[in-house]
Every structure is written in C-alpha cells, then in structure tokens.
Structure 1
Amino acid sequence: MNILDKTYYYFIGAGGIGMSALERFFKSIGKEVAGYDKTQTELTTELIAEGIDIHFEDNIELIPGGINAENTLVIYTPAIPKDHSELNYFLVNDFKVMKRSEVLGEITKHTYNIGVAGTHGKTTTSSILGHILKVANVECTAFLGGIAENYDSNIILNGSKYTVAEADEFDRSFLRLSPKLAIITSDDADHLDIYGERDEVKKSFQEFAAIVEEKLFVHKGLPFEGAFTYGVDLDADYDAHNVRIIDGHYVFDVKTPNGSLTDIGILLPGHHNMENAVAALAVADYMGVPHDKIKEALSTFVGVKRRFNRFEANGKIYIDDYAHHPTELNAAIRSVRELYPGKKVLGVFQPHLFTRTRDFAEEFGESLSQLDSLILLDIYPARELPIEGITSNWLLEKVNLNEKIVSSLEDSLANIKKQDFDVLLTVGAGNIDTIVKPIKEWLSEA
C-alpha cells in the first residue's frame, strides 16, 4: 500500500503537536483532512482555519460524509483510550488504521531521512536543522514536535527529497523510521511507565542507532560506537569553542572534520541550545551545506514556542518553557541564572504524569530547590489515572525552599500576583501554557 494513495486522512487526536504536522503535510499535497480531538485549542483553531475539519465530541455521527474504508486512512495516537467510539467504529468497519509513528515512517522511508532523537533537545535541534536546510534551499520537509517561530508552524515544507523527522522514544516510535542520518542528543531515562527499567530506555536508543544507515551524530560522552561526536568545549569531532557573549547572545567558533567555522552567532539563550545548534550544524556540514548558509540560518533562527520563550514588561522578566524532566528543569534554571545573576527567580511548575513524578521525585526535588520560590501546580495526568500517594503536596516536601506552595492551575495567576520576584519561570508539558497569555497581559498592565 502506498500511504499517499488515499483521498481522506482522518486523525483521532487531531490537536496533538505531532499529529497536526502530518495533517498539514497531507493538506499541502491536496488531500482531504479531518479529525477529532477532545479539546479545542489555539492550534486546533489554526488547523480549522487552514481547511482541516475538526470536531470535539467522540461521536461517529460527526465523521464527515464521503469517508469510507476504501478511500480513507485513519491515524491515531497511543494516548487514545481503547473504548473510544470513533476508533472502534473504524476498526470494526475494516478501515486502514495506523499509529502516527507508523505513518511518519511510511512517509519518510522513500526519502533521505534525518532522524533527530534524544530525551531532551530534539524539537529545537530538528527545528534548527530544518531551518538551515530551508535557508540553503535544500528540497526538504521537516516534521517538528513544536511550533518553529520562524514559520509559525510545526512543519517546514520545501520539497520531499530530504526529510527531517523528530524521532520520538515514547512507545519506541523512533524504531519505525528508516534514517540515513541521525542525531542523538541524550539518552536519559524517561517514559518509565512504558519501559519499566531505566536501562531499557538506553537499550532502545542503541536499537535506534543500529538502524541508522549512513552516519550517526551524538553528544560527546554518549555510548555509541562509530558516531561523529559534537559538544561545547568537549574536544568533540564538531566542537564549539571560544564561546563569548556579545550583545546578550552567544558567539562561538566550531571545529569540524572539514575545517572551522568562526564567529557563529545564535539568538537562543542557554548552554543547551548552543549544543543543539552545534548538532544541527554538524549534520548540515556533513551534507555539504555551504558554511555561509549555515551561519546565516543559525543567526536568524528565532526559536520554538514554549522553549525558553522570553517576555519583558515593567521591569519584570517572564520565561516560559516546556521542561518536564529534571534534566530539562536543570537546563532551564541554569540558563536563567546565567542570564540574570543575582535576580530573585519564582518558578511555577506543573508536573506531567503521575508515573514520571513518582519515578523522578528525588531529582525533581533537587531541581526545584535551585529556585528562590516555587508555586507547584497539581499533577497533569494526560493519559494516566491517579496513583495513590503521588501528589503535588507529596512532591513539595522534597523541595528544599522556604517559599513554596501548592496551587491549582485556576488559582495560579492569583498566587503569582502575591509573590515578590524579578524573574518568573513557568515550566511544564501539560496545560500550563493556558496561563501564558494571562500572565503577559498582567505584567504589561502592572
């Protein structure tokens, strides 16, 4: 079966960030696209405006007419419950039904695919790489796990000879890809609800590395043989050095196996984003992208939504970030401390998943203790049911701060207004993003 031969593409979980990139892809090649999601969001509103038919009630009566088992491919995410009416309707009536990861694998397998994997940093790295290839006018489509600010989209469309795909370790999805090249930014443990043991996560990354056909690029220190390494001041194959800050931005040089690039400037804050930029640079250099195009792209890449987005008003600094793992929290807080030394930092953190909160409780406690004060929101369950004893009050006890409280999301803005801070940092992967706009409006008025 050629996955592109259908007329209709129906998405169950249409508002997901990875799903919507596929929706936009199919729409771009002239297909009819529709779907269901349980929640209306800013993203679903944009998708509807782009001509994608989305409804918000699990009701088979709302499935568009014209859809049948012969002309339609149904795509769903693992987060969809087994008793979902629409999903079961399609299964019972012999529709072709595939997971998102399977579809991404099918779309990209006939292209020169570059997979970007890692527990942290894959969205920013794949977005930077997609931007470099677009600036260099390489025929490439990039499927992203976040909204790239330069394009206000989670897909970069510029031909199909090459593809960049975020290679997600959740549910071992990345093993569906057929990458010619790949990046692994990190192999830290996560998704222990799926993997069980931390070593199983590392084993799955080794399995991913084994399917890379041509060349692998890894952060120096990761245990992958035969790969190019990259890093910052690590004496890696692709190594950033002579790092300085000019006008508030990083400028650095990079040593490569093919010579050097000097005076590279990036707009993104944070040491981890410098590493992400070097990873993307390494692949682009290997692919033969001219160095002047690489430098131009890096200097013009604005960032990804909810990846250390900064806002300043009335003397207050506000940063919003997607961090939901202790390593990511550490990176976000480190970046704040580097940029704003001596400032009082208030963190608002929404834990994501009961299992992740349980499995990394001690590490979360240590990470959050680096703040000056903390508002800890209720745990966002996503696909999970509560686990007895695993609550935000329980997690708060592991945080070594004098100024710390637990709050609901609904009360969070009122609680923020009571706090004294110079820098406000909101972090989490659930629905904490719904308070970003109200916070900005309040700070602008204050």
Structure 2
Amino acid sequence: MTTYHFIGIKGTGMSALAQILRDSGEKVQGSDVDKRFFTQDALEAKNIPILPFSKNNITDDLTIIAGNAFSDEHPEIQEAKRRGLVFYRYHEFLGEWLKQYTSIAITGAHGKTSTTGLLAHVLDSNYPISYLIGDGTGRGHVDSNYFVFEACEYRRHFLSYEPDYAIMTNIDFDHPDYFSSINDVFDAFQSMADNVKKGIIACGDDEKLQQIQAKVPVVYYGFLPTNDFQAQNVKETDEGTQFDVFVRNTYYETFTIPMYGNHHVLNALSVIAICQYEGLQAEEIKAISTFQGVKRRFTEKQIGNQIIIDDYAHHRREITATIESARKKYPNKSVVAVFQPHTFTRTKTFLQEFADSLEAADSVYLCDIFGSAREDGGQLTIYDLQKLIDDSSILQLENVQELSQFDDSVIIFMGAGDIQKFQKAYEESLATKKLKNA
C-alpha cells in the first residue's frame, strides 16, 4: 500500500486533503516548515506524521502530492522527480480523487469558504459525505455520496476539475499578480463552466455571472425577481437572519441562518438551490440553521464589553461585507476595523477601494502590508493607504493596547497574512492589565 506524502502539508487545502485521505483509509504523512500553523491541530488529532522539510523524507514507496506554493526547485520535489515517483500537484490530485463521487465545486471571488462549509454541513446532516473546505478542514467517508470542495480560480487551478455541479458565488477582479483584468477573470470562470458536467448554480445578481455561457442547466439565485431562487422578506432576529425563499416566483419555505449580512443570505440561497435541485426536502435543508461557521470567517469572542472578531477578509468587497455583518449583529456598538493588506500587488491595485470600504467603520487601524516573498513592494507602504483614510492610525505590536479605549465596541481584525499576531498581542495586553488590576 502506497503512502501519500504531502509537501507543504500545513497549507489549508493540503491539510484538508490529507485529512480526507486518512479518513478514507489511506496512509498519509507530510512535511513542512518548523513553525506552528492553525491547521496542525486537526492533522495531529488524526495522527498524521508531520516532518521537517528534508530530501531524506523522500523514499521509493511514496506517492507525492506537492503544494502549489512550492517551486520545482524545492529539495523534496527534486528528490521525488530524481527517483521517478508518482507526482501530483495539489489541484491535479484533487481533480483525480473527486471523480469517484458526485462532486460539487464551490467557486467565486468571495464567499467560497463560507459557502463550502455551509453546504458540507447541510449534506453531512443527511448523508455520509466527503468535503474539503479552504479553512483547512477536510473529512472523508468510505461511503460518501457527495464530495463538496472549494475550487480556487488563482492561476486557473480550478480548471483541473470536472465537477458534476458548480456553485459560482460571484466574479470579481482579484489576484492582480496573475489576472490582467476583470475580463481575464471572466475568461477563467467561463472555462470552468465548460468543465461542469450536470449543472451550475450561479448568483444572478452578479452581472458577470449572467454572461456565462453553459452547456448544462444554470439555476440562478439572488435578491432580484428574475432569479430562479429568490430571497424575500429578509429580517434580522436574535437568532440570525430569517428570509423567505421563492422558487420561480412560488413560495417555497422560510429559513433562518445564524449569521448576519446579505452576503450570508446569498451563500445560503446557493446551498438551498443545489440541495433542492438534488432532491432534499425543505425540512432536511433546514439543518442550515445549526451551522457553526468556518475558521477565520467572523470568528468572535467577547472580552469585557468588547466583541473581538477574526476574519480572513482581504478584498474590498469582503471588508464591506464583514463590517456590514458586525453592524447588523451589534447595532448598538461602534465598529473598529484593524486591517492588514495582503500582498503589495493587491494593495497597489485596490488602494482607493480599500480606503473606501474601510470608511464604513467608525475607527480604522492599519497594519504593515503582508508582502509575499515572490513580489517586490517597491516604494509602496501602509502610509500610502493611511493618507486616503481620514483619522486612521497605524497599529504595531508595541501599541496594540490603544484598542482598549474602545470599550463598548466590535473590534474586527481583518487580513489573510499574519493579522492574528496583532489580535493575540492585544488579548495578551488585556490579560496583563486584568492581572495588574486584580
């Protein structure tokens, strides 16, 4: 029996895939840098060995799955190729693995992870399934009916998949280090649509998605009356958000989700649409009301009168949506945004858009840009963004305690880099202050 060796096993997708293979009865191990990541807990809980990078890890009995973050020059990849081992990149292996199931790909510029988590939760409440979520969560089952997975458009990796169904949440310009324009992004999604075998569930409120040409049926969802699945009568309640669903203008059912914000209603609509299309009853789909969320998506805790939120938002639309969620859930609290831009390319391309979206907060703190090793920041600094936002401040580890002045507030730490270190430092400063006052 072969052993699957994951090069870069602590990556979110890699970690999830490793868990799926282990759950499905395969032998799994992996290697990575000697630094702790949040994905490690789940790997360790499943007793998956994690080795430090070394070419000596590579032996003749292995099948190699390499993370997309690592170049062909990586010592383990070079050794694997020298030995002539069976070798896959992450997206190549995933494309092969999902062929044994009814596969549902969730793709879009925003909302992929939350929607994948929500769909996995509803289906898992009714059937044995396998799922791969972009927050590092993966689960396999030998009797899986469905394989639900997040499909990323970056570098067109999602073209390695030929899913039965695809949920498309939106098309937006992101990853400017790879895509040249919104039209280039659209072209990638059009190619993805051509790969889908049974049906597409697409957000009809998104103008670009309306232009997709498909060889399979397309079911549209959204707030507009032209959609096949439409949300009406949206209300915020103590339990979350309640809304009525109409299917082709006929009342279907009323649903409640434990989240706030229109983007969450849209994500839920896509899940309701695919489940209804696949024959689930409304009562079965109502498992949607017990969804606990995914990692790093509006993950909240309360310390004193402050609500501290950790969120992966790193694009202008995600920032707007996260601030909207906080306002709707906590209408009587002020909102403080702590934002760390992710990559110089994205920051430079969307500088004004970031400023505009952050203006929706009552107070704004900015952390240094989280740059990628593969790009040169040039002259760009966080001060270029600060200039565009009135009364914004720079947050560094040394002055995190400044946030304690916002007593009855929601403080949102947003970013895809290492923003969590600022949150951790702030929480430690509060704990130290509490000890001193005890």
User: 1:32 corresponds to which residue?
Assistant: 27
* Aligned position for 1:150: none
How far did residue 8 of structure 1 move?
Answer: 1.0
Letter in 1 for 2:47: G
Of 335-344 and 168-177, deviating more is 335-344
Moved more, 199-208 or 313-322: 313-322
Partner amino acid for 2:401? A
The question of whether the paired residues in 2 share the 8 Å contact of 1:231 and 1:239 is answered with yes
C-alpha distance in 2, partners of 1:106/1:52?
Answer: 22
When structure 1 is superposed on structure 2, of 299-308 and 239-248 the one drifting more is 239-248
Say if 2:244 is the partner of 1:256: no
1:180 is matched with 164
1:36 offset after TM fit, Å? 1.6
Aligned partner of 1:87 in structure 2 is 77
Post-superposition offset of 1:420: 6.0
1:108 paired to 2:103? no
Structure 2 residues without counterparts, runs of 5 or longer = none
Which of 395, 414, 420 is the matching residue for 1:407? 395
Cα offset for 1:364?
0.8
Report the 3-state secondary structure (helix = DSSP H, G, I; strand = E; otherwise coil) of the residue aligned with 1:83.
Answer: coil
For residue 195 of structure 1, give the secondary structure of its aligned residue in structure 2.
Answer: coil
Give the match for residue 353 of structure 1.
343
CA distance in 1: counterparts of 2:7 and 2:222, whole angstroms:
39
Matches within 5 A, 1:133-282: 133-137=123-127, 139-146=128-135, 153-155=137-139, 157=141, 159-221=143-205, 222-223=209-210, 224-225=212-213, 227-232=218-223, 234-257=225-248, 260-282=251-273
Match of 1:425 among 412, 416, 422: 412
- Superposed displacement of residue 180, structure 1: 1.3
Q: Is the 8 A contact 1:268 1:302 kept in 2?
A: no
Secondary structure at 1:240 match in 2: strand
Partner residue of 2:317?
327
Question: CA 1:236/1:158 → structure 2, altered by over 3 Å: closer, same or farther?
Answer: farther
Q: What amino acid maps onto 1:141 in structure 2? A: S
* Offset, 1:369: 2.0
TM score, norm. by length of structure 2: 0.90
CA deviation profile, 1:151-177 (whole Å, cap 9, x unmatched)? xx4336473332111111011111111
Q: CA deviation at 1:327?
A: 0.8
1:369-412 residue CA offsets vs partner (Å, 9 max, x unmatched): 2222222111112453332012212222222x21x22234x336
Q: Summarize the Cα distance change of 1:158–1:339 in structure 2 as closer, same or farther, 3 Å threshold.
A: farther
Structure 2: how far apart are the matches of 1:161 and 1:309?
Answer: 30
Secondary structure of the 1:40 match is coil
Q: Is the 2:126–2:284 contact (alpha carbons within 8 Å) kept by the matching residues of 1?
A: yes
User: 1:258 offset after TM fit, Å?
Assistant: 10
Name the SS of the counterpart of 2:174 in structure 1: coil
SS in 2 for 1:276: helix
* 1:183-214 deviations in Å (ceiling 9; x for gaps): 10011011121122231111101111111111
The aligned amino acid for 1:89 is: E
Paired residue for 2:8?
13
Cα deviation for residue 33 of structure 1 reads 1.6
Residues of 1 paired with 2:395 and 2:305: CA distance? 25
> Counterpart amino acid of 2:297?
R
Instruction: Please give the alpha-carbon distance, in whole angstroms, between the structure 2 residues aligned to 1:53 and 1:239.
Output: 47
**TM-score, normalised on structure 1?**
0.89
Measured in 2, the distance between the counterparts of 1:351 and 1:412 equals 19
Q: Distance in 2 between matches of 1:393 and 1:12?
A: 37
CA contact (8 A) 2:227 2:248 kept: no
**How far apart are 1:142 and its partner, in Å?**
1.2
Instruction: Give 5+ residue unaligned stretches, structure 1.
Output: 1-5, 148-152
Aligned position for 1:60: 55
**Identical positions, percent:** 33
